[in-house]
Amino acid sequence: MANHLEEEQIAGIPRWALVWEARAKLLAAVFYIFAVISLTTPSFAALAYLISLAGALLMGIPLAVLLKRYLIITPFLLLMTVPLFFSQGPFLAFDHVAFAVLIILKAFTSMTVITIILDTQSLEQFMNSLADLKVPPVLITVLMLSYRYVFLFLDDFQKMQLAAKSRFFRGGIGIKRLKIYGQLTGALLVQSLDRSDHVYEAMASRCFNGTFRFKHSRKLTAADLSKTLFACLLIVTLVFLERVFVG
């Protein structure tokens, strides 16, 4: 009954992805990401990305969701890769361009795998898997609180942005506008610090000792292990072929 309710809460995700045990899924994802990082050629990195993209689409994750996640990391990728394109002046160096493309493909692949982990199971399942894999409780607590309060932070930011617009603040670049930006940032920081104090006092009054309690995950089945092994074999085969053909 509980599994059925969890499946209803994640609309569009097929049953075979939902019933994949969280620990097995997480181990497959971590192994896949680290294997992709070890790739050294854009062509094989592109194959690894296409495999992860196909897996995400087969698991029912909309392409629009993936594109939104890619937009989050795009500014950081541009900061890392754009200088490579112009390191030789007006001329493009093939090695630098290939390295920039390799970075982008690895980042997109990692984000795709992370999206699979976050969108094909509940937050409780993910945290339970971390606890069962003996991840330090402090780290799990930080992740839980960060996930919870990042949305409140974004809500405060949107309210502050709306308040500024209602006072005819149009943004832009200028000395006076930079001063206003500084004031808004300071006010947001102070508000966040006040909220953190209130949250700490509320949790301390409820005898919170810094560790969340999680229920144990269900036992691994042959189906869970077969899915994990299949994902691992795919990326291991890709790494092996790269070593054979590239050297």
In a domain, 174, yes or no: yes
Count the domains in the chain.
2
Question: What's the CA gap between 236 and 243, in Å, rounded?
Answer: 11
pLDDT per residue, tens digit, the chain (247 aa), is 444 444 445 767 888 888 899 899 999 999 999 999 999 999 999 999 999 999 999 999 999 999 999 998 998 898 888 887 776 666 667 788 889 999 999 999 999 999 999 889 888 888 888 888 888 888 888 888 777 787 787 787 788 878 887 877 776 666 777 777 788 788 888 888 888 888 788 888 888 777 777 777 778 899 999 999 999 999 999 999 999 988 6
Instruction: Say yes or no: 6 and 104 in one domain.
Output: yes
pTM: 0.77
Instruction: Say yes or no: 196 and 128 in one domain.
Output: no
Rounded to a whole number, what is the largest CA-CA distance in the chain? 64
Instruction: Say yes or no: 26 and 86 in one domain.
Output: yes
Instruction: Say yes or no: 117 and 182 in one domain.
Output: no
